[in-house]
Amino acid sequence: MTSTSVIMKDMEKRNLILRWVIALIVLGSLGFSGVVLYYLDPNKSSLYPFCVFHQLTGLYCPGCGCLRALHDLVHGDVGGAFRMNSLLIVSLPLMGYLVYQCHILPPERRKQINEVMSARAVWIIFWVILAFWILRNIPYYPLTLLAPH
């Protein structure tokens, strides 16, 4: 075995350990966030950040209701989560797919974000978010259903 192949094997081992450490940190952070969201209700706790856009304008941004939606989701209330931020709930499978393709797959099978999503798909997502932002602030039924309620 040459010294180069020994060095390469050592680097692969370090990369594997680093990947496991990163995975544990991410899973630990997600678990901790889930526990916090489970026990601290965003409707009642002042520990959560407030939406600056909503405070300044009285209008809802595309992210308004996300924490309450996630709180409902960790309690198994998918309907409640959907009422708080339907775009977040609808986009969770896509986000999971992207995380899986770009971060969870082994490095040799992992893809870059531009391999998974075309520029056109990114533009479509942008326009969907913008439309959601505008539509959830129009005070006429059924668009009022898009606002957190």
Residue 54, interface with Zn ion (CB under 5 A)? yes
Q: Which is nearer to Zn ion, 2 or 55 (CB)?
A: 55
Residue 61, interface with Zn ion (CB under 5 A)? yes
62-101 positions binding Zn ion, by CB under 5 A: 63-64
Residues touching Zn ion: how many (CB under 5 A)? 5
User: Are the C-beta atoms of 110 and 101 separated by less than 8 Å?
Assistant: yes
Residue 51, interface with Zn ion (CB under 5 A)? yes
Residues 6+ apart with CB under 8 A from 129: 62, 87
Residue 59, interface with Zn ion (CB under 5 A)? no
User: Are the C-beta atoms of 81 and 73 separated by less than 8 Å?
Assistant: yes
**Residue linked to tokens 């209700």:** 41
129-148 positions binding Zn ion, by CB under 5 A: none
Residues 6+ apart with CB under 8 A from 72: 78, 80, 81, 83, 84
User: Which residues of the chain form contacts with Zn ion (CB under 5 A)?
Assistant: 51, 54, 61, 63-64
